[in-house]
């Protein structure tokens, strides 16, 4: 029979990568909690309209990359391409937007985009993200960026922070009008020609070198910010300086999702190939209202976990791992009870087969145990067990009641 394979661009996470994955999630969740974010989990399947109205009709995600289908109840549904829209949906559905105040969430899980798979670009990938609602101040943008910086610092990942401001309702519409005038006579690639109609600022996101060249001298939104946006952007940069967070102002940074206002940022790595953005985010002050909620400002980020895992080492073992084995029938009978008791304090690995002392010993080493305990006939008769602390090379025979 033909072997069944996983779908293209959808990978299992196993072995060493799984260890890193879990380690990342545990540490990252702790960091997010330190910044006041609370865990939230939303379904991976949502009504398609949620993503169309949030991610935006001009984005590649909404136009080409959604896993979209009609379910048995004739509902138009899609696998989530990102996490922000669902968090906003929850925020409105639970009427949190009406409560007033500041709310912070963190989440992680699989996202789905039907892109052409390549290194660092998957069709199912995982994100870890944080969103803050109800805080207008640029200080929250700083807080969010500072958290990402600290996450990368913790995992010792060198990245470069690119930032930009995409303006607000006062400056963006007039800028877009001027931009259209400025680029209407310039022939760009087919994709950018479409962008001229749907969302002209996305032309700056084009990877086509010819387009980039032609757009080089065109004014960017960063050059046309209103006074308020300019002041906020300056204050953000000043605060980043005072926290010694290095950044590059990238005027071409417009992001691939349509919902951003004011601050936009990406963290870029030089070590993972062409798909080099490890994290992206920014402010989205209109999305809650756009999806039917109150006027509530928001800012957030998401880290691409697979891209990050490429760059971190297997976690150092900071906990004792016991391996317990039995060498005869009588010992095997007692094994479950002894293992179960030890598991109240430790990670315990075992093998429910009678094996020789040497076989158990080698098994324990293979499984990276830090401590070994072997139930032998002789010690068991005296109510004892043989143990070895492999880290310090200390052998002991201890009473089972103290083990």
Residues binding ligand HAM (CB under 6 A): 82-84, 113, 115, 121-122, 125, 127, 129, 131, 256-257, 277-282, 300-302, 304, 306-307
Longest dimension (CA), the chain: 93
Contact criterion met (CB below 8 Å) for 76 and 45: no
Residue 87 beta carbon to ligand HAM: minimum distance, rounded to whole angstroms: 8
Closest distance to ligand HAM from the beta carbon of 113 (Å): 5
If the CB atoms of residues 127 and 285 are measured against ligand HAM, the closer one turns out to be 127
**Mind giving me the DSSP string for 172-212?**
HHHHHHHHHHHHTTS---HHHHHHHHH-GGGGGG---HHHH
In DSSP terms, which residues pair with 398 in a beta bridge?
385
Q: Nearest-CA neighbor of 41 among 127, 108, 96?
A: 108
Smallest distance, ligand HAM to C-beta of residue 299, A? 7
Please, what is the minimum distance in Å from the beta carbon of residue 266 to ligand HAM?
6
Cα 175 from Cα 180, distance rounded (Å): 9
232 sits in which H/E element: helix 227-242
Pairing assessment for the beta strands 261-268 and 76-79 based on DSSP bridges: unpaired
Query: Least Å distance between CB 3 and ligand HAM?
Result: 25
Indicate the residue among 85 and 225 with the shorter CB distance to ligand HAM.
85
Quick count: other Cβ atoms within 10 Å of Cβ 272? 19
Work out whether strand 347-354 and strand 45-47 pair parallel, antiparallel, or are unpaired: unpaired
Q: Report the residue number, 183 or 287, with the smaller CB distance to ligand HAM.
A: 287
- CA dist 263 and 284 (Å) reads 9
Closest approach, Cβ 117 to ligand HAM, in A, equals: 8
Angle, vertex CA 254, rays to CA 287 and CA 89, nearest 5: 20
Nearer to ligand HAM, 175 or 301 (CB): 301
**Residue placing its CB nearer to ligand HAM in the complex, 25 or 332:** 25
Q: What is the smallest separation between the CB atom of 120 and ligand HAM, expressed in angstroms?
A: 6
Select 167 or 282, whichever has its Cβ closest to ligand HAM: 282
Task: Indicate the SS3 state at residue 308.
Answer: helix
Our CB check for ligand HAM shows the closer of 82 and 379 to be 82
- Return the number of the residue (282 or 325) whose C-beta is nearest ligand HAM: 282
First to last CA, the chain: 50
Give strand pairing partners of 107: 129
Q: Identify the residue whose tokens are 């065109």.
A: 218
- C-beta nearest to ligand HAM: residue: 304
- The least distance separating ligand HAM from the CB of residue 370, rounded to whole angstroms, comes to 34
Residue placing its CB nearer to ligand HAM in the complex, 58 or 371: 58
Q: By C-alpha distance, which of 362, 395, 363, 360 is closest to 374? A: 360
Structure tokens at 295: 């006027």
Q: How far is the CB of 145 from ligand HAM (least distance, A)?
A: 12
């Amino acid at each position: 029979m033909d072997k069944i394979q996983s779908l293209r661009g959808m990978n299992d996470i196993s072995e060493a990568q799984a260890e890193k994955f879990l380690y990342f999630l545990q540490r990252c969740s702790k960091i997010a909690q330190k910044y006041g974010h609370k865990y939230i989990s939303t379904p991976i399947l949502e009504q398609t309209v949620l993503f169309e109205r949030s991610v935006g009709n001009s984005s590649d995600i909404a136009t080409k990359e959604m896993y979209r289908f009609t379910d048995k109840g004739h509902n138009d549904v899609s696998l989530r391409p990102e996490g922000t829209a669902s968090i906003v949906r929850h925020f409105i559905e639970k009427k949190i937007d009406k409560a007033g105040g500041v709310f912070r969430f963190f989440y992680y899980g699989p996202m789905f985009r039907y892109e052409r798979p390549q290194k660092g670009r998957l069709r199912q990938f995982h994100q870890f993200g944080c969103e803050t609602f109800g805080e207008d101040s640029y200080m929250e943008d700083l807080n969010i960026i500072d958290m990402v910086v600290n996450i990368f610092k913790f995992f010792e990942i060198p990245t470069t922070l690119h930032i930009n401001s995409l303006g607000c309702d006062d400056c963006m519409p007039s800028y877009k009008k001027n931009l259209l005038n400025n680029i209407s006579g310039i022939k760009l690639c087919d994709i950018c020609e479409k962008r001229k109609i749907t969302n002209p600022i996305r032309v700056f996101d084009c990877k086509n070198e010819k387009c980039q060249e032609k757009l080089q001298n065109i004014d960017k939104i960063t050059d046309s910010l209103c006074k308020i946006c300019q002041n906020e952007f300056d204050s953000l940069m000043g605060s980043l300086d005072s926290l010694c967070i290095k950044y590059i102002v990238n005027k071409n940074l417009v992001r691939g999702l349509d919902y951003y206002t004011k601050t936009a940022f990406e963290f870029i790595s030089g070590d993972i190939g062409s798909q080099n953005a490890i994290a992206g985010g920014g402010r989205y002050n209109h999305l809650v209202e756009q999806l039917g909620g109150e006027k509530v400002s928001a800012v957030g980020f998401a880290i691409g976990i697979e891209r990050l895992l490429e760059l971190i080492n297997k976690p150092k073992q900071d906990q004792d791992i016991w391996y317990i084995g039995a060498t005869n029938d009588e010992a095997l009978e007692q094994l479950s009870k002894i293992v179960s008791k030890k598991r109240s304090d430790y990670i315990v690995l075992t093998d429910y087969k009678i094996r020789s002392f040497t076989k158990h010993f080698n098994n324990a080493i293979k499984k990276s145990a830090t401590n070994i305990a072997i139930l032998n006939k002789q010690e068991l008769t005296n109510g004892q067990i043989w143990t070895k602390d492999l880290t310090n090379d200390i052998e002991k025979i201890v009473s089972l009641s103290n083990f």
